[in-house]
A = this chain, B = another copy of it.
Amino acid sequence: MSKLDTLDFSVLSLLQENGKASYSDIARKLSVSEGTIRSRIGKMVKDGVFEFIIHVNPNKVGLCVQAIIGLTTKLGRQEEVAGWLHQFPEVRFVAAFSGKHDLMLQAYFSSNEELVHFVNKELAKLDGIDTVDVSIELKQYKDSFSYAIPKNSNNSISS
């Protein structure tokens, strides 16, 4: 697992603009051979630097209710609760946090009923949970995946 160099960052930048850019395209823009781009991308993907994915617009597939849920958990049971939450397909994101809530999660539902069911039936099953704070998304302003990449950073950091 080595550091990323300038070329790697240029590749990332072009791929952030267009996730479907071809190796050849990128190679032409960066004035290197297609094989170089392919090997750089292959290495980065293998090392977990990035992955090729599709981002589905939840609203377009009927997931109209989006929520961020903050939890406090009983001492020593956070991992257990997080592991349980991990398994729900409705749950897109779970992490432990400092601050008011031990755990926060982001989840998508197709209706308010499903959200209520998730909170009152599924979460209620877990007695490691102390409190639940549900925030329902009213209007989205930004949901970007092309965040700023610090080009001068030390990138020998692992996941």
Total interface residues on A, CB under 8 Å, equals 73
Q: Which residue, A15, A57, A158, A159, has most C-beta atoms of chain B within 10 A?
A: A57
The 8 A CB mask of A121-159 against B (1 = contact, 0 = none) is: 000000000000111111111111111111001110111
Q: How many copies does the complex hold?
A: 2
Is the pair A98, B136 in contact by a Cβ cutoff of 8 Å? yes
A35 within 8 A of B: no
A23 CB to closest chain B CB, in angstroms?
11
Is the pair A63, B96 in contact by a Cβ cutoff of 8 Å? no
Is the pair A150, B51 in contact by a Cβ cutoff of 8 Å? no
Closest 6 CB pairs of A and B: A62-B153, A99-B135, A89-B148, A19-B52, A97-B135, A19-B53
B-side contacts of A98, CB under 8 Å: 135-136, 138
Known: A51-B54, A64-B157. A95 touches B139 (CB 8 A): yes
Partner of A60, one of B59, B82, B159: B159
